[in-house]
């Protein structure tokens, strides 16, 4: 681990030159570490698990340089008129605030901002990418991915391929290692459609690899529901029952592991655990299978270079079983997940909260939540 990764964090911002050596600082923060280790099984970590993570320096599960945020979380700040508020607005000022908080990575969700922001409304161009790259560099931030354009046509049309390649060029300028989408590979339940999706993504992944970029797809809960791949056929000749494999697990098997990668949205994976528990087997019996997100990632850990670290508080009264909340304030067992996922320190967790914007009632809320979530991410220990 580099000296950069070894830096101790206080209050979410990197502190240097405080006059404390590492031993003194650790002694001063022993109470915090003890409190984390004392979390009960409902919060995830017991003494035995804590002892098992002694190979993590200071128990840190997400190294400082890996702590990121997807900009969709603060989309309200990026898109608001800088002439109407003193709050950070537009890409440049939001980057300044995220850098101040301590984030070191961002994932884009498109390249648009308010027209009155520096650079104009759209930065989806080579020149726009250069401008963004300068602002990222100025604030110690690295672009790690983008939820951007993936061709919808199949077979691909030339205009779609040209636009895809333009996005790869933008990603190169921004210094991204990854480029992807916020959607599932297909919304279909049927095996034949997932076969097509794999062919499509294999071709796109090969193009991205030639550009030095890893192409990734994303999940919502339905992608981890059960694939319809067997049993009697319906009137359209489609299968009506399942062998028990989940849709995205099948996609993992048939897509090219050298060119196609995934970003697990951990919140939606836990919603799948809550919602998608049974399937009708080929013999007509109803089978129960509880989804374990970690069991999918662990044997394929190198194919999951990014995560959405989106937290949820259990609420059985809702359809999803969870309410979205700032990172570290929910029930999802992130300590165990990051402790057990493998390839320690190589993943890129991006804090996301779809409902972070506070609207007119609290226009600063999304950045407030970003700071709270960063602090909780920095405090996460094994």
pLDDT, residue 256, reads 98
290: left (phi over 0), alpha (psi -120 to 50) or beta: beta
pLDDT tens digits for range 210-222: 999 999 999 999 9
Residue tagged 């104009």 (tokens): 120
Confidence band (pLDDT; 50, 70, 90) for 53? very low
pLDDT, residue 334, reads 97
pTM (predicted TM-score)? 0.85
Residue 366 to residue 84: CA distance in whole angstroms = 17
Residue 188 · residue 236 · CB < 8 Å: no
Confidence band (pLDDT; 50, 70, 90) for 5? very low
- The contacts of residue 244 (CB under 8 Å, 6+ apart) are 226, 279, 281, 287, 289
pLDDT, residue 278, reads 98
Among 130-139, 336-345, 371-380, where is mean pLDDT lowest? Answer: 336-345
pLDDT, residue 169, reads 98
**Is 344 or 350 the better-scoring residue by pLDDT?**
350
Percent of residues in the chain assigned helix, strand, coil, to nearest 5: 45, 20, 40
- Average pLDDT score over residue span 120-134: 98
Which contacts qualify for 148-152: CB closer than 8 Å, 24 or more apart? 148/108, 148/110, 148/111, 148/179, 148/180, 148/181, 149/181, 150/180, 150/181, 150/183, 150/204, 151/200, 151/204
pLDDT tens digits for range 287-343: 999 999 999 999 999 999 999 999 999 999 999 999 999 999 999 999 999 999 998
Structural domains in the chain plus CATH codes: 61-379 (3.20.20.150)
- Average pLDDT score over residue span 217-234: 98
- Average pLDDT score over residue span 240-263: 98
pLDDT, residue 9, reads 39
């Amino acid at each position: 681990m580099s000296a950069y990764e070894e830096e101790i964090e206080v209050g979410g911002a990197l502190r240097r030159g405080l006059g404390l050596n590492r031993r003194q600082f650790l002694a001063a923060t022993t109470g915090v570490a003890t409190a984390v280790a004392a979390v009960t099984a409902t919060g995830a970590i017991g003494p035995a698990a804590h002892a098992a993570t002694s190979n993590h320096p200071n128990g840190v599960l997400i190294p400082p340089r890996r702590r990121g945020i997807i900009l969709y979380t603060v989309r309200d700040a990026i898109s608001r008129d800088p002439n109407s508020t003193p709050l950070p607005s537009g890409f440049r000022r939001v980057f300044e605030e995220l850098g101040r908080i301590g984030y070191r990575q961002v994932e884009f969700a498109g390249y648009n901002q308010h027209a009155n922001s520096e650079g104009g409304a759209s930065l989806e161009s080579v020149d726009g990418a250069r401008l963004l790259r300068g602002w990222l560099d100025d604030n110690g931030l690295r672009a790690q991915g983008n939820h951007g354009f993936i061709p919808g046509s199949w077979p691909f049309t030339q205009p779609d391929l040209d636009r895809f390649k333009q996005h790869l060029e933008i990603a190169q300028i921004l210094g991204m290692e990854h480029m992807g989408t916020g959607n599932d590979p297909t919304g279909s339940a049927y095996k034949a459609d997932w076969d097509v999706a794999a062919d499509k993504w294999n071709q796109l992944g090969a193009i991205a690899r030639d550009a030095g970029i890893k192409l990734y797809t994303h999940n919502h809960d339905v992608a981890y529901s059960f694939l319809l791949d067997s049993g009697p056929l319906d009137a359209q000749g489609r299968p009506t029952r399942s062998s028990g494999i989940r849709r995205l697990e099948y996609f993992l098997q048939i897509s090219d592991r050298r060119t196609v990668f995934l970003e697990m949205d951990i919140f939606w994976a836990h919603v799948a655990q809550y919602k998608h528990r049974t399937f009708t087997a080929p013999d007509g019996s109803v089978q129960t299978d509880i989804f374990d997100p970690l069991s999918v990632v662990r044997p394929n850990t190198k194919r999951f270079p990014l995560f959405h670290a989106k937290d949820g508080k259990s609420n059985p009264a809702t359809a999803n079983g969870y309410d979205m909340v700032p990172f570290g304030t929910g029930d999802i067992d992130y300590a165990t997940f990051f402790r057990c996922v493998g390839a320690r320190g190589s993943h890129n967790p991006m804090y996301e909260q779809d409902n972070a914007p506070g609207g007119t009632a609290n226009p600063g809320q999304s950045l407030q939540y970003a700071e709270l979530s960063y602090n909780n991410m920095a405090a996460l220990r094994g």
